[in-house]
C-alpha cells in the first residue's frame, strides 16, 4: 500500500471511529455521538467513509479524492448545523437570560477533533503525489 493510500485509509477509519465518539454533552448528564444527535446524517457520513475505503482497496484515486472532499464538507456542515440547532433550540423560552443559560449548558466534547482530523487526513492522502521516476542518464552521455 502506498503511503498516500495509507494516510487516506487512516483518515477514513478515523472518521468512522469519530462518529462514535462523544460530540455533545447536553445539560452535563449524557454524552451524545453523531448517531444520537442526528441518526440519518451519521449514517450518510458512515456510508461516505466506507465508499472511500472501498476506493482505496480498489485503487481508485478519483473516487477517494471525491469521498474525501464530500466527507470534509459533511463534517463542516454538521458543525454549522449543530451550532445553529443549539442556538435556536431554546427560542421558545420567553426569558432571554434563561435561554442563553440553557444554550451554555450544551458543551462540545473531544470527538470533534477526531471528526475534523479524519477527513483532513483523507484529503491530505489524496493530495500527496508519488514522486515521478526520472530515467537515469547513462554514463557514456555524461561529459
Enter the pTM of the model. Answer: 0.82
Query: For residue 131, what pLDDT band results from cuts at 50, 70 and 90?
Result: low
Residue 52 lies in a domain: yes
pLDDT at 132: 58
Residue 110 lies in a domain: yes
Digit-coded pLDDT (tens) for 45-69: 999 999 999 999 998 889 999 999 9
Residue 108 phi/psi, 5-degree rounding, is -85, 140
Please state, rounded to an integer, the average pLDDT across all residues of the chain: 87
Residues paired with 26 in a beta bridge:
106
Residue 13 lies in a domain: yes
Residue 17 lies in a domain: yes
Residue 12 or 101, more confident: 12
Residue pair 32/26 in contact (Cβ under 8 Å)? The answer is yes
Residue 141 lies in a domain: no
Residue 96 lies in a domain: yes
Residue 30 lies in a domain: yes
Total domains in the fold of the chain? 1
Residue 86 belongs to what domain range? 3-130
Average pLDDT over residues 33-45: 92
Amino acid at each position: 500500500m502506498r503511503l498516500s493510500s495509507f494516510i487516506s485509509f487512516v483518515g477514513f477509519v478515523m472518521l468512522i471511529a469519530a462518529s462514535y465518539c462523544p460530540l455533545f454533552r447536553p445539560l452535563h448528564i449524557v454524552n451524545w455521538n453523531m448517531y444520537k444527535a442526528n441518526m440519518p446524517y451519521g449514517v450518510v457520513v458512515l456510508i461516505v467513509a466506507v465508499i472511500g475505503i472501498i476506493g482505496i482497496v480498489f485503487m481508485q484515486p478519483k473516487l477517494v479524492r471525491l469521498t474525501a472532499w464530500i466527507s470534509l464538507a459533511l463534517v463542516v456542515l454538521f458543525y454549522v448545523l449543530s451550532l445553529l440547532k443549539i442556538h435556536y433550540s431554546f427560542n421558545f423560552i420567553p426569558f432571554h437570560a434563561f435561554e442563553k443559560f440553557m444554550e451554555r449548558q450544551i458543551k462540545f466534547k473531544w470527538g470533534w477533533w477526531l471528526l475534523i482530523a479524519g477527513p483532513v487526513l483523507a484529503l491530505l492522502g489524496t493530495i500527496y503525489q508519488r514522486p515521478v521516476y526520472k530515467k537515469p542518464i547513462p554514463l557514456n552521455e555524461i561529459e
